[in-house]
């Protein structure tokens, strides 16, 4: 818990960049899984929890916190879920997520997808999320898991301030009330592997094929934000490609 004095000195999310907007390796990496997959998970979750207003799922959004090198330097998960927060903060869409503006509620789940260029998913980011207190850390690495000497799908749970890899797929997260795992789904008319939500009985919540076109259109908007946060970090004398470990 941060002190009232420190909290009053922290910037507002209105003044902070909203994502890292880092250019991806190529269009395929951009589409699946790096941006499309988290958006699909959000789309399905909106249906699963349509009667709930106490959750928020962010995609490629800056998470600002006070456990890192600076409250102005965010971590940017591919996707994250917070419980016990407003779906729309003050009736408006969030530009970014600042823990100090969310009653100190940190994401309960963070999702990272590994691309052609490793982004510290197994070390730097893991350390940041552990220090922040994220309960579940999920790494999806369907293409480069052999290179990285890991499994394609890994779930870590924070126990005694350390992440311990969990077993079982789909993996049931009792604290979230959802399971997560891989499944073959029809996406854009093509059957391919995707991350999906599961119920407690192990039944998959399917991805509606109609969601894909909607997600593609949203990706166009995402691309328009390219380099904004990177430029901001550089203006602060910080190299966005070489952030020090939290």
Q: Tell me the per-residue pLDDT of 59-95, one tens digit each, with 9 for 90 and over.
A: 999 999 999 888 999 999 999 999 999 999 888 889 9
Would you state the pLDDT for residue 219?
58
Would you state the pLDDT for residue 20?
47
Would you state the pLDDT for residue 21?
45
What CATH number corresponds to the domain at position 81?
3.90.1570
Instruction: Assess if residue 241 is contained within a domain.
Output: no
Instruction: Assess if residue 134 is contained within a domain.
Output: yes
Would you state the pLDDT for residue 9?
63
Would you state the pLDDT for residue 196?
94
Instruction: Assess if residue 91 is contained within a domain.
Output: yes
Strand partners of residue 83: 55
Q: Which residue has the tokens 């990706």?
A: 219
Instruction: Assess if residue 194 is contained within a domain.
Output: yes
Instruction: Assess if residue 240 is contained within a domain.
Output: no
Q: How many domains does the chain divide into?
A: 1
Instruction: Assess if residue 137 is contained within a domain.
Output: yes
Measure Cα distances from 240 to 21, 63, 228 in Å. 11, 15, 11
pLDDT < 70: residue spans in the chain: 1-35, 187-189, 208-226, 243-246
Would you state the pLDDT for residue 33?
46
Domain of residue 64 covers: 4-235
CA gap 130, 17 in Å, rounded: 23
Single pTM value for the model: 0.76
Instruction: Assess if residue 246 is contained within a domain.
Output: no
Instruction: Assess if residue 125 is contained within a domain.
Output: yes
Contact present, 198 and 209 (Cβ < 8 Å): no
Would you state the pLDDT for residue 188?
64
Would you state the pLDDT for residue 162?
97
Would you state the pLDDT for residue 180?
97
């Amino acid at each position: 818990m941060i002190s009232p004095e420190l909290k009053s000195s922290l910037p507002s999310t209105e003044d902070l960049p909203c994502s890292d907007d880092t250019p991806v390796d190529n269009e395929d990496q951009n589409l699946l899984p790096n941006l499309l997959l988290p958006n699909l998970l959000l789309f399905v979750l909106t249906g699963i929890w349509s009667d709930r207003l106490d959750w928020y799922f962010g995609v490629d959004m800056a998470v600002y916190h006070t456990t890192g090198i600076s409250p102005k330097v965010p971590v940017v998960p591919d996707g994250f879920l917070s419980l016990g927060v407003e779906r729309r903060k003050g009736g408006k869409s969030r530009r970014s997520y600042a823990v100090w503006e969310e009653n100190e509620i940190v994401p309960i789940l963070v999702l990272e997808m590994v691309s052609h260029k490793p982004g510290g998913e197994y070390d730097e980011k893991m350390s940041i999320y552990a220090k922040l207190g994220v309960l579940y850390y999920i790494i999806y690495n369907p293409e480069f898991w052999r290179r990285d000497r890991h499994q394609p799908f890994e779930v870590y749970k924070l126990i005694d301030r350390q992440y311990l890899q969990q077993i079982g797929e789909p993996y049931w997260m009792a604290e979230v009330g959802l399971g997560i795992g891989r499944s073959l789904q029809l996406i854009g008319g093509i059957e391919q592997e995707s991350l999906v939500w599961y119920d407690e009985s192990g039944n998959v919540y399917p991805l509606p094929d109609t969601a894909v076109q909607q997600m593609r259109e949203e990706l166009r908007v995402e691309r328009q934000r390219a380099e904004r946060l990177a430029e901001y970090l550089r203006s602060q004398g910080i190299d966005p490609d070489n952030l020090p470990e939290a």
